[in-house]
Amino acid sequence: AQSVTQLDSQVPVFEEAPVELRCNYSSSVSVYLFWYVQYPNQGLQLLLKYLSGSTLVESINGFEAEFNKSQTSFHLRKPSVHISDTAEYFCAVSESGAGNMLTFGGGTRLMVKP
Amino acid sequence: DTGVSQDPRHKITKRGQNVTFRCDPISEHNRLYWYRQTLGQGPEFLTYFQNEAQLEKSRLLSDRFSAERPKGSFSTLEIQRTEQGDSAMYLCAREDRDNTGELFFGEGSRLTVL
């Protein structure tokens, strides 16, 4: 069975500061990895994904995540956050080639302060 | 627009009543998922369909819960004899065409059981 651990439930940070949201997973098989974002009063949206190939993946709004197989991690980073990045971020994993049921972490609330 | 509509968006009911939620994905997507999200937690998998066949159910789906997808398009999730612990956001999702595990979520149906 797969599981996802997001080590920080809340991350407060000042605008324009860098941020890292941590995600570790466990699985006995190959996985696909995802970060979803949930803005206040909105539904879940995909932020970025790792399926195969380059271990560094990027989103259109400046976030990036790196798949580290040896450490079973998929941490999310942004070098300079904006107020508009305030949201709940969820890391998720699915087993590649299987029924593609996502297992989510508990979420990290990113709070960007002016 | 994620191509997934859910109805109703909010439902308040008294304990013991039955409720039904509906999910309408855009056509031509053969996998449909139901998740539940409680406050402060990540979404938890409930069940999924491939066309009209229900292929997997979580142990979270007690015998009071039933899901259907009669024609392989829209789906319904019914909860009988609701309990206060059923209060949650019920999310429906469709899978992308390439079956990579990326899910597109609807905005959810929020259930409050009094």
Q: Give the tens place of pLDDT for each residue, A3-62.
A: 999 999 999 999 999 999 999 999 878 888 999 999 988 889 999 999 888 889 999 889
Here the tokens at position B42 are 């990540």
Cis peptide before A12 (omega within 30 of 0): no
Which residue of B37, B57, B100 is the best one to mutate when testing the A interface, meaning the one whose CB has the most A CBs within 10 A? B100
Out of A9, A36, A100, the one facing B95 most closely (by C-beta) is: A100
**So what's the pLDDT on residue A21?**
97
CA distance B56 to B88: 21
Q: Does the beta carbon of A4 lie under 8 angstroms from any beta carbon of chain B?
A: yes
Amino acid (one-letter) located at B43: P
Which residues in chain A have their CB less than 8 angstroms from residue B33's CB?
101-102
Side by side, which strands form the sheet with B19-25? B4-7, B19-25, B75-79, B65-68
Which residues in chain A have their CB less than 8 angstroms from residue B103's CB?
46, 100, 102
**So what's the pLDDT on residue B51?**
87
Tens digits of residue pLDDT in B73-100: 899 999 999 999 999 999 999 987 666 6
Q: Does the beta carbon of A103 lie under 8 angstroms from any beta carbon of chain B?
A: yes
pLDDT average, residue stretch A63-89: 95
**So what's the pLDDT on residue B9?**
95
